[in-house]
Amino acid sequence: MQAEWEELARRNWLTENEQAQIPSSVSPHEKGYYFHTDNPYKDWPNAFKEGFRKSKEGDLPNAVLLLEGAILQDPQDSEAWQVLGTTQAENENEQAAIVSLQRCLELHPNNLQALMALAVSLTNTGMRQDACEVLLCWLRHNSKYNHLLKDKSHLAGSPGCQRRMSRVSTVGSSLLPEVKELFLEAAQHNRDTDPDLQTGLGVLFNISAEFNKADYLLWNRLGATLANGDRSEEAVEAYTRALELQPGFIRSRYNLGISCINLGAHREAASNFLTALSLQRKSRSRQLSHQVMSGNIWAALRIALSMMDQPELFQAANIGDLDLLMKAFNLDM
């Protein structure tokens, strides 16, 4: 891992024929990071503590200068490199963030926060394949999830990243599908909300969206995973995202209705079931509509209506009067 991160940290972000456009106020130093030469905080006492505080307060320009000062005083301070990286990311300077986080990981290879932050910054700069590799590193180093790699010898390997980061993002022979599967499996086994795991899933969904704008199946699957973990509110968000990508996806509409029932939102649940039934009816001719409308959706609809204390609507569901119910809920037919 040490040698790998040294290679990553040394990596030049420009091609051989390009010239770096470096302002005169900064100086090349410390493995590709460009420090400000006119930094008033370069000898500041407790520079890291002050820089950390400024970063939390949102004073990002001064936070960067203070953190650079802390690193110039102690270049081996991995925590200072980490905070500098996350601060630069907040300051919309992703390349400086990437170099800083790589240097942090060279010094502290199993820093999970730095790995996740690096994955986010790589994604933001379009280096999606590299982001997948870093997320895989995060899983390898995370004691809560690294058992998921036990039967995946081609991915397990050593704890470090096995390939150099690519200059160009590619999807051929991509890690994306396998890393997505691993993160979804981790979410399924994790009973408590893990913010970093959710961040990783978000990164993967963003990467996936770049390559497949209709990756609604993944969002639906995440919703099911969350729902099975008694996290209905988060499941609703995932199903809603799936439907934004594919409004006609009946399974997500049905799943969304079930989660609404679990949350006590019975009218919303019924509305989603009715929309699903209407979509199903439109998918075939009127003559075949009853055969294609799912009994499961009707059963779930009756449950939702029974909880709304509106017996006339429940009776309409019992006899399969979809038109009456659509009108009652002011839904387009």
Tell me the sheet residues that pair with 35.
Answer: 27
Q: Residues 128-146: what's their mean pLDDT?
A: 91
Residue holding tokens 């999606």? 128
| CA pseudo-torsion sign 3, 6, 8, 13 | negative
Quick one: pLDDT at residue 167?
38
User: Is 151's pLDDT higher than 80?
Assistant: no
Quick one: pLDDT at residue 202?
83
Quick one: pLDDT at residue 83?
96
All domains of the chain in start order, with CATH:
1-13+20-109 (1.25.40.10)
Reported as a single tens digit per residue, the pLDDT across 86-136 is 999 988 888 899 999 999 999 999 999 999 999 999 988 888 889 999 999
Q: Which of 114-118, 224-228, 295-299 has the highest mean pLDDT?
A: 114-118
Q: Is the pTM of this model over 0.75?
A: no
Mean pLDDT score of the chain: 79
When mean pLDDT is compared across 47-56, 152-161, 180-189, 264-273, the lowest value belongs to 152-161
When mean pLDDT is compared across 40-44, 227-231, 259-263, the lowest value belongs to 227-231
When mean pLDDT is compared across 15-29, 128-142, 291-305, the lowest value belongs to 15-29
| Residue 88 in tokens | 């630069």
Q: Residues 182-209: what's their mean pLDDT?
A: 81
- With bands split at pLDDT 50, 70 and 90, how would you rate the model's confidence at 246? confident
Q: What Cα–Cα distance (Å) separates residue 81 from each residue in 35, 131, 196?
A: 12, 19, 19
Asked if 251 and 220 count as a contact pair (C-beta separation under 8 A), the reply is: yes
Residue 26 host element (H or E): strand 26-29
Collapsing DSSP states into helix, strand and coil, what is residue 264? Answer: coil
> Cβ atoms within 10 A of the Cβ of 290, count?
11
Angle among Cα 212, 216, 220 to the nearest 5 degrees reads 145
Residue holding tokens 């590193």? 137
Per DSSP, which regions of the chain are E strands? 26-29, 33-36
